[in-house]
Amino acid sequence: MKELITYIAKALVDNPDEVTVTEVEGGQTAVLELKVAKEDLGKVIGKQGRTARAMRTILNAASAKVKKRTVLEIIEE
């Protein structure tokens, strides 16, 4: 899941070197924390959050396949 979000985020932003994804494992749920450069934050979120929602939808479909719940959090620095 981490590699999937990293790949999508790096394709969207201008500074792909500053994309970091941290995975926090829980019992049934994993939390993916996505950090990008400040100027790329808008590209990752998209108009009215559409891009972020699409990334979460893809993540939910992929994590349902492995029977695990995964949550995407976009961290602002």
Q: Where are the domains of the chain?
A: 2-75
pLDDT score recorded for residue 48: 96
Domain 2-75 class? alpha beta
* pLDDT tens-digit readout, 27-54: 889 999 999 999 999 999 999 999 999 9
The pTM of this model reads: 0.89
d(CA 27, CA 45): 28
pLDDT score recorded for residue 28: 84
* pLDDT tens-digit readout, 1-23: 999 999 999 999 999 999 999 99
d(CA 33, CA 73): 5
Query: With 80 as the cut, is the pLDDT of residue 77 above it?
Result: no
